Amino acid sequence: MSFSNDVRHEIMGSTDDSWDRQFVRQCFLDGGTITDPIKSYHLAFNLPESEAKNLAIVLSNFGLHPKTLVKNGQTIVYLKEAEEISDTLKIMEANKSLLVFESKRVEKDLRNNLNRQINFEAANLNKTVSAAQDQINAIMYIANEKGLGHLSKPLREVAKLRQLHDTASLIEIGAMLSPPISKSGVNHRLRKIVEIAEEMKRFRSE
């Protein structure tokens, strides 16, 4: 059974005496659909024009912001904000469906947040791997062209550690030095090495 049918089944036997709540319920029974919140947030009423206009007014009186469009001779009143869909379920007194909606909404938000975090970490990892490869390429170029003895002692120490530990983080490389230095310190030295290699390439091409 669809989420729309679940809502329809629940409100069918409601006996609230409030005219506006009854009217919203009846409009949903006549032409309402609501998307499963795991997929998207969309609540729509497909109604004749006069009924749709009245519904838009009633929903507005409840503090909601419905939108309308005309399609195939019918007027569609719809809401796409999760909070307003939740409020509409409250108006119709579809309390069981409201609990399901909120539960799925939380599940969706958690899933989206997790996906964003995974994507963020994957992007950072790709940047780190790319930067490490650039550093290794620069070190190899300097070693082949002039030897690492061309570098100052602090740069030479970092270069050798980067060669030996190509997957190590900047923090790990910093901890291997004596005395240890910070992540930013290691990053500064590696950037300097890359700059030296680029300068050597420019000089050679001239």
Mean pLDDT, rounded, for 139-148: 92
* Closest C-alpha among 45, 47, 34, 38 to residue 4: 34
Q: 140 and 88 in one domain?
A: no
Q: 196 and 138 in one domain?
A: yes
Render pLDDT for 87-97 as a digit per residue (tens, 0 to 9). 999 999 999 99
Please check the confidence at residue 38 and state whether its pLDDT lies above 90.
Answer: no
CATH number of the domain at 11, please: 3.10.28.10
- How many residues are recorded in the chain? 206
Percent of the chain at pLDDT exceeding 90: 60
pLDDT of amino acid 129: 83
Q: Is residue 107 part of a domain?
A: no
Q: Is residue 106 part of a domain?
A: no
Q: 78 and 127 in one domain?
A: no
Given pLDDT bands bounded at 50, 70 and 90, which one contains residue 16? low
Number of domains in the chain: 2
Residue 75, strand partner residues: 47, 70
Q: Which domain holds residue 152?
A: 113-205
Q: Examine the fold and report which residue of 63, 93, 123 is the final residue of a domain before the chain moves on.
A: 93
**Beta-carbon count within 10 A of 173 CB:** 24
pLDDT of amino acid 132: 86
Q: Is residue 75 part of a domain?
A: yes
